[in-house]
Amino acid sequence: MHAPETKLLVDKSYPSRGRHRGLFPKGLRNGIGLMRKMIQRPRGTRDFPPYEMALRRAAEQAMRDTCHSFGFGEVVTPTFEQSELFTARSGEAIVDEMYVFKDKGGREIALRPEITASVIRFFVNEMSMSPKPLKLYYVGNCFRYENPQSGRYREFFQLGAELIGNDNPETDAEVISLAVECLRATGLKNFDVRIGHIGVLKSLVLEEIDDGAVAGTVLRLIDKEDFDAVALTLKTSGIPETLFESITKIAGAKGGVDVLDGIGQTEAHEHLKELFEILKLYGIDDCQLDLGIVRGLDYYSGMVFEIDAPKLGAEKQVLGGGSYTLSELFGGEPVFSTGFAIGIDRVMLALEAEREPPKKVTLDAFVVPTEDSMRKYAFAIVSKLRAMGLRADVDLMRRSISKNLKYASSVGARFAVIVGKDEMAKRSLTLRDMISGEQTLVPADFAAEELGKALEKDSAR
């Protein structure tokens, strides 16, 4: 039984300018036109090509391996959370810097602007009874709605670690050591470690200012490093100018740990001295004391530290961290933690600044069949090369020999393996050096071994 004849109905009311134009109503035609418009990626985001991803994954894996060597285990948390998780930690003002939206249930959700809060929320929810210290690390993307610039994006990537359980000098030293070794593992050589302590400035302000509201304002201004506003606030509150002089003296204290001797004795004094001693035992003896690091006085509670890559210029900070208490904000018992977050994007920029421009990821071999009848042999050969662990590809476009050799050169193939009819009749292949152009006839059954030998000679040069 034949299917009924189908007739194409053409709306004659639309003028047909060009082939089949009358087949589509005007609105649909406009829609098709819109579909042809190139859609750009969102501002502040990036696309990463294969060669760049290879470099990023290598650096990331080196840092993962370092975390494992320190006994840290990886955790993964949601890319989006209840927005309250972040406002509880940083205040409502942070909403302006986040991607916040209502889900279909009317709940206010935010793309995570950082991962520390998520890890501590995870700890409070499910790991609070775990043996201490708890060593956790994470890798993930974060989002902040800010003005994009070099080294600062709306979607960015972090590797971070949190050590939950105590706030003693050895805990801080363990975390700083892990941060330093993570950066060393990537191959980064030129970076500076600066260590401070929130307690020095915080205790001074709280001791000298009786009015809690004024003290809070001063601490927030110090956090923003707006010392002109600090001076104005103290003056309008009738507080002696000597306090401002003490604040600026502490904030400007930089150098070796002996700089502490010029600061009044505090609990932070002994903590930092012991911390620097332990770091020397870890092989980290080039740290600088910097009491001007504040890093959010409401959030951090003790030691704070930052690591800079000077070659990055103004946006030189690649890592920040310190000790804090956060679990009680999320319904848990107070627990001291120390952690850090590495900006993977900044690290990659710093690595690029230190070395020659990276070469594209290359192939060891590109297999070229000379005609269609040789294609089945080409697939068998590329399969054997890959089984040996070589990076090999094969013509999938059915190009001519000349076009295939041009393509092999453009993708950085070190050798071309030419599969020809005459050669295969003799159970042989042609191995072409893509640098010198030299061609060698090799037995087909031993082509992979011969290629391996050629590559070994390359690496030995």
Per-residue pLDDT at 403: 95
What is the token pair recorded at 372? 């269609």
What is the token pair recorded at 263? 């600061």
Per-residue pLDDT at 360: 61
Q: How confident is the model over 408-419, as pLDDT tens digits?
A: 999 889 999 999
Question: What's the chain's average pLDDT?
Answer: 87
In sequence order, which ranges of 70-211 are alpha helices (DSSP H)? 84-90, 116-122, 169-186, 198-208
Domains observed in the chain: 50-354 (3.30.930.10), 365-460 (3.40.50.800)
| Cβ contact 192:299 at 8 Å | no
Q: How confident is the model over 111-159, as pLDDT tens digits?
A: 999 999 999 999 999 999 999 999 999 999 999 998 887 778 999 999 9
Q: How confident is the model over 274-303, as pLDDT tens digits?
A: 999 999 999 998 899 998 887 665 678 889
- Whether pLDDT at 72 is above 70: yes
Query: How many Å apart are CA 294 and CA 304, to the nearest integer?
Result: 7
What's the alpha-carbon Rg for the chain, to the nearest Å?
A: 31
Q: How confident is the model over 413-437, as pLDDT tens digits?
A: 999 999 999 888 889 999 999 999 9
Q: How confident is the model over 95-109, as pLDDT tens digits?
A: 888 999 999 999 999
142-147 long-range contacts (CB < 8 A, ≥24 apart) are 142/111, 142/112, 142/113, 142/114, 142/115, 143/98, 143/99, 143/111, 143/112, 143/113, 144/97, 144/98, 144/113, 145/96, 145/97, 145/98, 145/99, 146/44, 146/97
Instruction: For the beta carbon of residue 94, count every other beta carbon within 10 angstroms.
Output: 17
Q: How confident is the model at residue 460 (pLDDT cuts 50, 70, 90)?
A: low
Query: How many Å apart are CA 272 and CA 37, to the nearest integer?
Result: 59
| Greater pLDDT, 220 or 383 | 383
- Whether pLDDT at 45 is above 70: yes
pLDDT > 90 in the chain, percent: 58
Work out the angle between the directed axes of helices 344-354 and 50-69 (0-180°, nearest 10).
110
Instruction: For the beta carbon of residue 428, count every other beta carbon within 10 angstroms.
Output: 18
Q: How confident is the model at residue 25 (pLDDT cuts 50, 70, 90)?
A: low
- Whether pLDDT at 9 is above 80: no
Per-residue pLDDT at 28: 53
Output the pTM of the full model. Answer: 0.77
| Cβ contact 113:88 at 8 Å | no
What is the token pair recorded at 214? 């004024």
| Cβ contact 351:59 at 8 Å | yes
| Cβ contact 115:80 at 8 Å | no
Query: How many Å apart are CA 214 and CA 233, to the nearest integer?
Result: 8
Residue with tokens 């020659």: 356
Q: Give the containing element (helix H, strand E) for 231.
A: helix 227-236
| Cβ contact 307:318 at 8 Å | yes
Strand 100-102 relative to strand 288-290: parallel, antiparallel, unpaired?
unpaired
Backbone angles phi, psi at 220, to 5 degrees: -65, -40
Per-residue pLDDT at 12: 47
Q: How confident is the model over 169-180, as pLDDT tens digits?
A: 999 999 999 999
**Taking CA 395 as the corner, what is the angle to CA 391 and CA 401, rounded to the nearest 5 degrees?**
115
